[in-house]
A and B are shown apart, each in its own frame.
Chain A
Amino acid sequence: MVSKKNPLKTILFYLLIIIILIPIVFPFIWMLMSSFKTQVDIISWPPKFIFKPTLNNYKRVFVEQHFLAYLKNSTIVAVFAVGLSLLLGLPAAYAIARNNMDKTSMFILVARLLPGISFLMPWYIIFSRLKLMDSYVALILSHMLIALPLIIWTMVPYFKSIPMEMDESAMIDGATRTRSFVSIILPLAGPGIVTATTLSFIYSWNNFMFSQVLSRQKTRTLPIAVYNFLSYVEVAWGAVMAAAVAIILPAIIITMIFQKYVIKGLTAGAVKG
Chain B
Amino acid sequence: MKGKGFIDRHYKWVYTLPALFFVLILMVFPVCYTFGLSFTDWTLTSGKSISFTGLKSYITVLQEPRFWDAFKRTLEFTFWAVLFEVVLGIIIALLLNKQFKGKGIAKTLLLLPLVATPVAIGIVWTLFYDPTIGFLNYCLNLLGLPQSGWHTDAATVMPSLILVDVWQWTPMITIMVLAGLSGLSDEPYESATVDGANAWQILRHITLPMLMPTILTATVLRLIEALKTYDIIYSMTQGGPGYASETLNLLAYKYSFEYFRMGQSSVMLVFLFILVLVFSLAVMRIRKATEV
Contacts and interface: CB of A to CB of B under 8 A. Distances in A.
Interface stretch (B53-61, B188-196, B227-235): B227-235
Interface stretch (B64-72, B76-84, B113-121, B148-156): B113-121
A144 B26 contact: yes
Specify which of B14, B15, B110, B167 lies most central, judged by the most chain A CB atoms within 10 Å of its CB. B15
B179 A262 contact: no
12 contacts: A13-B98, A13-B100, A28-B124, A31-B120, A111-B27, A209-B230, A226-B123, A240-B127, A259-B107, A263-B107, A270-B214, A272-B183
A247 to B, nearest CB: 5
A118 B272 CA distance: 9
A205 B27 CA distance: 20
A208 B26 contact: no
A150 interface: no
A192 interface: no
A255 B221 CA distance: 21
Given A17-B96, A113-B277, A262-B115, 17 more contacts: A31-B127, A43-B133, A45-B132, A47-B138, A88-B18, A88-B22, A91-B19, A98-B12, A110-B27, A119-B26, A120-B256, A145-B27, A152-B19, A226-B119, A255-B115, A267-B175, A272-B183
A177 interface: yes
Contacts of A111: 23, 27
Interface string A108-119: 101101111111
B118 A122 contact: no
Specify which of B124, B133, B235, B249 lies most central, judged by the most chain A CB atoms within 10 Å of its CB. B124
Contacts, number: 275
- Main SS of the interface on chain A? helix
B7 A176 contact: yes
Contact of B100 (A2, A124, A141): A2
Interface size class of B (residues with CB under 8 A): 35 or more
B62 interface: no
A227 B29 contact: no
Interface of B: 1, 5, 7-8, 11-16, 18-20, 22-23, 26-27, 29-31, 33-34, 37, 44, 92, 95-96, 98-100, 102, 106-121, 123-128, 132-133, 135, 138, 141, 167, 171-172, 175-176, 179-180, 183, 214, 217-218, 221, 224, 227-228, 230-231, 234-235, 249, 252-253, 256-257, 262, 265-266, 269, 272-273, 276-277, 280, 283-284, 287, 290-292
A121 B234 CA distance: 17
Interface string A39-61: 00011111100000000000000
B93 to A, nearest CB: 11
A226 B26 CA distance: 27
Contacts of A172: 1
A122 B34 contact: yes
A119 B19 contact: no
Contacts of A130: none
B95 A20 contact: yes
A113 B276 contact: yes
B18 A255 contact: no
Nearest to A267: B179
B118 A114 contact: no
Contacts of B23: 107-108, 111, 145, 148
A155 to B, nearest CB: 11
A217 interface: no
